[in-house]
A and B are shown apart, each in its own frame.
Chain A
Amino acid sequence: MQKDGANEKYFLGSVKNAIRILKLYSRPKQEYGITEIAHQLDIHKTTVHRLVTKLCSKGFLEQNPHTKRYHLGLSILGLSGLVTTHYEIYRVSLHVLKPLVDELGETAHLAILEDQHIVYLHKIECRHPVSLMSSIGQRNPALKTGVGKVILAYQPEEYIQHVIAKSGPYHCEKTEAQIRAELDQIKKQGYSIAKEEISKGIVSIGAPVKDYTGKVIAGISVVGPLDRIKKMKTGFLVDKIIKAAAEISENLGFYETKQKAASLERN
Chain B
Amino acid sequence: MAKTKNKSNSLDNALKLLDLFSMDVSELGVTEIANKLGIAKSTAYRLLITLESEGFVMKNRETSRYHLGVPLLALGNLVSSRLKILEVGRPIIQQLVEKTGESAHIAILKNGEVFYLCKEDCKHPVEMLTHIGRKNPPHCTSAGKVIFAYKPKDFIANYIKEHGLHPYTPYTITHPEEFLRVLKQIKQQGYAISKEELHEGITSIAAPITVNQQVAASVSIVGSIKRIHPTNYHSLTKSVIQAADQISHKLKTL
Report the separation of the CA atoms of residues A251 and B241 in the bound assembly, to the nearest whole angstrom. 33
Establish whether residues B76 and A79, one from each chain, have CB atoms under 8 Å apart when the complex forms.
yes
Report the separation of the CA atoms of residues A55 and B14 in the bound assembly, to the nearest whole angstrom. 11
Q: What is the chain A residue whose CB lies nearest that of B45?
A: A10
Establish whether residues A15 and B51, one from each chain, have CB atoms under 8 Å apart when the complex forms.
yes
- Say whether, besides A15-B11, A80-B72, A82-B22, A30 and B46 are in contact (CB < 8 Å): no
A14 within 8 A of B: yes
Report the separation of the CA atoms of residues A112 and B45 in the bound assembly, to the nearest whole angstrom. 25
- Cβ-neighbour of B78 out of A15, A16, A26, A54 (below 8 A): A26
Establish whether residues B121 and A78, one from each chain, have CB atoms under 8 Å apart when the complex forms.
no
- Say whether, besides A20-B54, A30-B82, A58-B15, A25 and B70 are in contact (CB < 8 Å): no
Establish whether residues B50 and A76, one from each chain, have CB atoms under 8 Å apart when the complex forms.
no
Establish whether residues A95 and B115, one from each chain, have CB atoms under 8 Å apart when the complex forms.
no
A-side contacts of B35, CB under 8 Å = none
Establish whether residues A2 and B76, one from each chain, have CB atoms under 8 Å apart when the complex forms.
no
Encoded as 1 (CB less than 8 Å from any A CB) or 0, chain B from 3 to 28 comes to: 01001101110110010011100100
- Say whether, besides A19-B56, A114-B58, A81 and B134 are in contact (CB < 8 Å): yes
For the complex, count residues of A whose C-beta is within 8 A of B.
Answer: 55
A137 within 8 A of B: yes
Interface residues on B, range: 35 or more
Chain A contact surface mostly: helix
A237 within 8 A of B: no
Report the separation of the CA atoms of residues A76 and B134 in the bound assembly, to the nearest whole angstrom. 11
Least CB distance, A232 to chain B, in whole angstroms: 27
A135 within 8 A of B: yes
A260 within 8 A of B: no
Establish whether residues A11 and B78, one from each chain, have CB atoms under 8 Å apart when the complex forms.
no
Q: Which of A15, A22, A91 has the most CB of B within 10 A?
A: A15
Establish whether residues A74 and B73, one from each chain, have CB atoms under 8 Å apart when the complex forms.
no
Interface residues of A in 133-186 (CB under 8 A from B): 135-138
A-side contacts of B189, CB under 8 Å = none
Establish whether residues B110 and A138, one from each chain, have CB atoms under 8 Å apart when the complex forms.
no
A-side contacts of B75, CB under 8 Å = 22-23, 25, 72, 76, 79-80, 137
A-side contacts of B74, CB under 8 Å = 135-138
Encoded as 1 (CB less than 8 Å from any B CB) or 0, chain A from 1 to 30 comes to: 110100110111111101110110111001
- Say whether, besides A12-B46, A80-B133, A86 and B67 are in contact (CB < 8 Å): yes
Encoded as 1 (CB less than 8 Å from any A CB) or 0, chain B from 108 to 127 comes to: 00100001110101010100
Establish whether residues A15 and B133, one from each chain, have CB atoms under 8 Å apart when the complex forms.
no
A41 within 8 A of B: no
A71 within 8 A of B: yes
B151 within 8 A of A: no
Establish whether residues B11 and A78, one from each chain, have CB atoms under 8 Å apart when the complex forms.
no
A-side contacts of B21, CB under 8 Å = 79, 82, 86
Least CB distance, A138 to chain B, in whole angstroms: 7
B49 within 8 A of A: yes
Chain A positions within 8 Å of B, measured between CB atoms, are 1-2, 4, 7-8, 10-16, 18-20, 22-23, 25-27, 30, 50-51, 54-55, 58, 60, 71-86, 91, 94-95, 112, 114, 119-121, 135-138
Please give me the 5 A-B residue pairs with the lowest Cβ-Cβ distance, nearest first: A80-B76, A78-B133, A137-B74, A81-B132, A81-B133
**A–B complex contacts, Cβ < 8 Å, 20 sampled:** A1-B53, A7-B53, A10-B45, A10-B49, A14-B7, A15-B51, A22-B75, A74-B115, A74-B133, A77-B133, A79-B133, A80-B77, A81-B116, A82-B26, A83-B69, A83-B70, A86-B21, A135-B74, A137-B75, A137-B77
Q: A7-B53, A55-B15, A114-B70 are in contact. List 6 more A-B contacts (CB 8 A).
A: A1-B53, A77-B117, A83-B69, A135-B74, A137-B70, A138-B74
